A = this chain, B = another copy of it.
Amino acid sequence: MAKHNAFYAQSGGVTAVINASACGVIEACRRHSDRIGHLYAGHNGIIGALLEDLIDTNQESEEAISALRHTPGGAFGSCRYKLKSIETHRTEYERLIEVFKAHDIRYFFYNGGGDSADTCLKVSQLSETMGYPLTAIHVPKTVDNDLPITDNSPGFGSVAKYVATSTREAALDIESMCSTSTKVFILEVMGRHAGWIAAAGALSGESPQQAPHLIIFPEIAFDREKVMARIDEAVKSHGFCVLVVSEGAQYADGTFLTDSGSTDAFGHKQLGGVAPTLASMVKEDLGYKYHWAVADYLQRAARHIASKTDVDQAYAVGEAAVELALAGQNSMMPAIKRVSDTPYEWKIEPAPLSEIANHEKFMPRDYISEDGLYISEAGRRYLAPLILGEDFPPFENGLPKVAKLKKARVDRKLAQFEL
């Protein structure tokens, strides 16, 4: 069979395991060296394709590629760059096809979330109208867990494990000191629109009688009186209260808690920080001593406490993407299908991109408890398997080892392109 090249790019916010998907894609391509010549990675995601800034992954050693499996971040560079609509920005899409043509790229693997699935679909459609044979496969990734069809998104399970572990550990700290010190601890986690990550905090305990005693979801309108009453109740029953709060916590009118008008020393609106905002309320309404933490990037980069399930799935979708492409399946995404909850079993099934692009999956209301401040049993059943298993990276001098790539660039063949 004819041999052609392939292109891989990372898109959007990176995760602890997106490089495990890269590893899956690259190793699968290498196994099919009879059909795939070079696998080029876009430097800084799709921008690398537009600018013809390509990294030849064939130059990397087996060892370096294998180390991607335990390296967080996006090894080839990712970007927040959304291709605009094909109607108004046709030149960008045409440039992509032009670059692919120049480098004999016939396989396009795009590793990202919902926006990237949409881009991937458009690229595949354009290649068809332009008569350039390209097989486009989307490799799912997002800590937000908001991709449809797939049971979960690679990247989420590891954040979930980090948040549940950190909550359990911090709760033991607060509990041991609460008689004379901090009574309320607030952990702020990611999730601008969906409470998946906050929900994972609940895995730390078995019921709201254990830490975390409550969870604040963006999906549930924030009711200050109700939340404060619940915090007070937890402190009175257990001596302390641990909350996990989503950065997207909002009032009924859609105003974020972080838009509450805090100003800094220069009179600027203080950005971010729902945890300190809530802490101020605790102080104001209840007078308890509090502490707060904002995990921010630490949570999505924490490869050292990744979920083995997540790493395995991230690798598997990368590998499956290549197999799908070689099987001639175009405009698809390898999705994770849950086969059973206990014991947890899953498999990969291809899903058409048209069903994925531009659909966001929100947390079902029935995964949240009736009172809106904890998860339900259904929510726990869904979440629990995703954090299963450990996959510690190798350590050197006390620190996690990470992949060292050469990132050898491919010679440019085309004129410069302006973004």
Contact = CB atoms under 8 A, between A and B. Distances in A.
A183 interface: no
Interface residues of A, number: 85
Nearest to A305: B304
Which of A81, A181, A294 has most chain B Cβ within 10 Å? A294
B264 A277 contact: yes
B47 A180 contact: yes
A179 B77 contact: yes
A297 B79 CA distance: 32
Contacts of A170: 296-298, 301
A45 B389 CA distance: 36
A170 B78 CA distance: 14
A298 B399 contact: no
Copies in the complex: 2
B399 A395 contact: no
B400 A395 contact: no
B291 A293 contact: no
A76 B172 CA distance: 11
A215 interface: no
Interface string A376-413: 00000000100111101001011110100000000000
A303 to B, nearest CB: 6
A149 interface: no
A124 B262 CA distance: 51
A73 B270 contact: no
A259 to B, nearest CB: 10
Interface string A108-132: 0000000000000000000000000
A260 B265 contact: yes
Contact of A47 (B16, B179, B390): B179
Nearest to A293: B296
A10 interface: yes
A272 interface: yes
Interface stretch (A161-169, A313-321, A349-357): A161-169
Interface string A66-83: 000001111111111100
A323 to B, nearest CB: 26
